[in-house]
Amino acid sequence: MNSKLDRRKKYTRMALKQSLIKLLKEKSISSITVKEICELADINRSTFYAHYLDHFDLLDKIEEEIIQDMAGYLNQCTYDKDEGDLQLIERLLEYFTSKQEVCQVLLDENTDTNFQKKVITFAHQAFMQNWKAVHTLDPKLSVYISTFIISGSIDVIRKWLNNGMDKPPKEMAEVITKLIKSGFSGCL
């Protein structure tokens, strides 16, 4: 009996998430109503409220799930000592490829979500932990450099997603890594 309820809950949440993502392709979160989400998902409003406070809560849960999933995906990897930076970026791009639709919607510059801020925070932490060259810099300077690199990388990834991922993740990782390293060379 419990597994049947769990499957129903999972299905309901999946349907609501997919409906919100579909609506976000057309309009901003502030223009979307719970009623629209429920109609698209073919779910009662009372069922919606059994899972989420409102549509902003649903969006927040989607964003948090993506960040946690991304962290888990990246933590599964072991990185080669010499190629770790490139491998980390390539794995991140592979993750975005696997979640193309939702990442493209949430990273769209016209979508008013907090997802980009969450990605920036996550990327900054990963950058400070894993990027070897950052440890050779003055700590006060490294904050500015990481901000510049992460913001630029996110814009490159956004462009790549919007271009239909026209290059494989490995090739894009090489491009981003070269851009980062050339930026670092001026600061060292």
Average pLDDT of span 38-64: 95
Instruction: Specify the pLDDT at position 137.
Output: 65
Query: Which of 27-31, 78-82, 118-122, 132-136 shows the highest mean pLDDT?
Result: 27-31
Structure tokens at 171: 């090739």
Instruction: Specify the pLDDT at position 171.
Output: 93
Structure tokens at 151: 């913001």
Residues 162, 146: one domain? yes
pLDDT for residue 120 is more than 70:
yes
- Angle among Cα 48, 39, 103 to the nearest 5 degrees reads 75
- pTM for the full predicted model: 0.82
**151: CB partners within 8 A, 6+ apart:** 120
Average pLDDT of span 32-47: 96
Q: How many domains does the chain have?
A: 2
Map tokens 């050779």 to a residue. Answer: 136
Residues 45, 66: one domain? no
How far apart (Å, rounded) are the C-alpha atoms in residues 84 and 79? 5
CB-based contact 135:145 (threshold 8 Å) = no
Q: At what angle do helices 2-24 and 55-75 cross, to 10 degrees?
A: 100
Average pLDDT of span 55-67: 94
Instruction: Specify the pLDDT at position 16.
Output: 97
Q: What is the CATH number of the domain that holds 31?
A: 1.10.10
Residues 139, 96: one domain? yes
Residues 100, 162: one domain? yes
pLDDT for residue 68 is more than 70:
yes
DSSP string, 81-119: TTTHHHHHHHHHHHHHHHTHHHHHHHH-TTS--SHHHHH
Instruction: Specify the pLDDT at position 42.
Output: 96
pLDDT for residue 142 is more than 60:
yes
Q: Of 66, 81, 91, 68, give the one whose Cα is nearest residue 176.
A: 91
Residues 34, 123: one domain? no
Percentage of the chain with pLDDT > 90? 40
| Secondary structure in 3-state letters for 9-70 | HHHHHHHHHHHHHHHHCCCCHHHCCHHHHHHHHCCCHHHHHHHCCCHHHHHHHHHHHHHHHH
Residues 128, 84: one domain? yes
Query: Which of 79-83, 144-148, 171-175 shows the highest mean pLDDT?
Result: 171-175
Residues 33, 85: one domain? no
Comparing 61-65, 133-137, 158-162, the range with the smallest average pLDDT is 133-137
Is the model more confident about 79 or about 179? 179
Q: What range defines the domain where residue 114 resides? A: 59-185
Instruction: Specify the pLDDT at position 143.
Output: 75
